[in-house]
Amino acid sequence: MYKVTLPFDAGAAALAAFGGRLHLACRSRDGRVAEASSADGFNFEGWRTLPLVSVRGVALGALDGRLHVAHVGLDDCIHTASSADGVDFDREVRTTFRTAKGPALAALGGRLHLAWSAWEDDGLFAASAVGGESFGPAAEHPYMTANPPALAAFGGRLHLASAGRNGDLWLTSSDDGTAFGDPVRLPLLSAFRPALAVLHKRLYLAWTGPQGMLHTSASEDGRAFTWPTPLGERGLNPALADFQGRLYVAWEWPDGVLHVAHL
């Protein structure tokens, strides 16, 4: 594993491949969304703070030639914006979905899918939008989570990973992004946000395990996962992305420093 430490003081990060570059977004310590990108996965350029305020974590997703970012505004509602070049973001949309955690994004079937935990009771919800700009009604998920969920499109289905209130990791999936079923309880525990990504026809899961150690696991069907692989690093709230045929992971530590590595 090759790792770089980014000279940026920030909160939980998001990763996405777009326009031939690996994009990283995070919540800066001044409460705004910060973003940068890299042509090689390690040398991140153009660090800038976007005119978007976020009181929680952020999420990234690509759909229809645009890079989308989701964040939680001062009104505790999820907002989205998008960019055609990965630099200038516009088309900001305010949803009515309130959350005390960060959101998750993924694209499937020409729609941008959003998942979050409810402000009131940690219930899980999902919604989607054609083109990523006009979200339909929220659909309630059968489980609850104390942390932000993770989303990824795999095998023609939308997969959702979440850590329950007792720390159990659960995976469910949906063919339309609204009705989630096929629950899988993994024999794993995490008190933080998990991450999902797809590489070489396998669904990868990353999470923070005991003593803050990062782990990954992979599945060929979205249900049966390999034995956990420790990354030998301590970190919180991991993010995953497939970039140039390699799996990249980003994470933070309580000192606020961000790290990025490929596996």
Residue 181 has pLDDT above 70, yes or no: yes
Distances (CA, A) of 53 to 43, 72, 119, 237: 25, 8, 18, 20
Q: Which residues lie below 8 Å from residue 88, measured CB to CB, with a gap of 6+?
A: none
Number of domains in the chain: 1
Q: Average pLDDT, stretch 136-144? A: 86
Confidence at 11, pLDDT banded by 50, 70, 90? low
Q: Average pLDDT, stretch 53-76? A: 93
Q: Average pLDDT, stretch 57-71? A: 95
The CATH number that applies at residue 183 is 2.120.10.10
pLDDT by residue (tens digit) across 227-242? 999 999 999 999 999 9
Q: Average pLDDT, stretch 34-52? A: 90
Task: Give the per-residue pLDDT at 9.
Answer: 56
Task: Give the per-residue pLDDT at 1.
Answer: 61
DSSP characters for 216-250? EEEESSSSSBPPPEEEEEE-EEEEEEEETTEEEEE
Task: Give the per-residue pLDDT at 211.
Answer: 86
Per 3-state DSSP, what percentage of the chain is helix, strand, and coil (rounded to 5)? 0, 65, 35
Q: Which 8-state DSSP code applies to residue 210?
A: G
Percent of the chain surpassing pLDDT 90? 62
Where in the sequence is the domain holding 127, given as residue range(s)? 2-262
